Amino acid sequence: MAGMAYSPSMIEAKVGDMLVFVNDDTQAHNVLIATVGFSTDLGKQDPGSQTTLTVRKSGRFDVECVIHEGMHARVVVRP
C-alpha cells in the first residue's frame, strides 16, 4: 500500500499461498475482504507495518480499505 492505493491492484494466488500486505504509505490503512462465502478484516495497519493472510479458498475476492473510500484491489485465488 502506497499513495492511497493497493499495489498491485490485482493479485493472483493459489490456495495455501500467503499474501503479505505492507503499508508503505504515510497513513494508516486496513485490509477488509467482504465477499459472499469469505470475509475477513485484518484490522488497522499503521505506516511501516505489514500483515499476512493465508488463502484457504479459491475464488475472486474484493479487498477494500474502509478508512479510505475508493481504495480497492482484487484477489483471484486458484485451486
Cβ atoms 52, 19 nearer than 8 A: yes
Task: State how many domains the chain has.
Answer: 1
Q: What CA–CA distance (Å, rounded) separates 25 from 1?
A: 6
Q: Is residue 66 part of a domain?
A: yes
Q: Is residue 48 part of a domain?
A: yes
Q: Is residue 5 part of a domain?
A: no
Q: Is residue 73 part of a domain?
A: yes
pLDDT tens across the length of the chain (79 residues): 999 999 999 999 999 999 999 999 999 999 999 887 889 999 999 999 999 999 999 999 999 999 999 999 999 999 9
pTM of the predicted structure, to 2 decimals = 0.88
Q: Is residue 24 part of a domain?
A: yes
In terms of DSSP bridges, do strands 10-14 and 72-78 run parallel, antiparallel, or are they unpaired? parallel
Q: Is residue 46 part of a domain?
A: yes
Cβ atoms 13, 19 nearer than 8 A: yes
Cβ atoms 6, 43 nearer than 8 A: no
Q: What is the CATH number of the domain that holds 16?
A: 2.60.40.420
Q: Is residue 4 part of a domain?
A: no
Compute how many other C-beta atoms are within 10 angstroms of the C-beta atom of residue 46: 10
Q: For residue 64, which of 53, 55, 75, 52 has the smallest C-alpha distance?
A: 75
Quote the pLDDT of residue 38.
Answer: 85
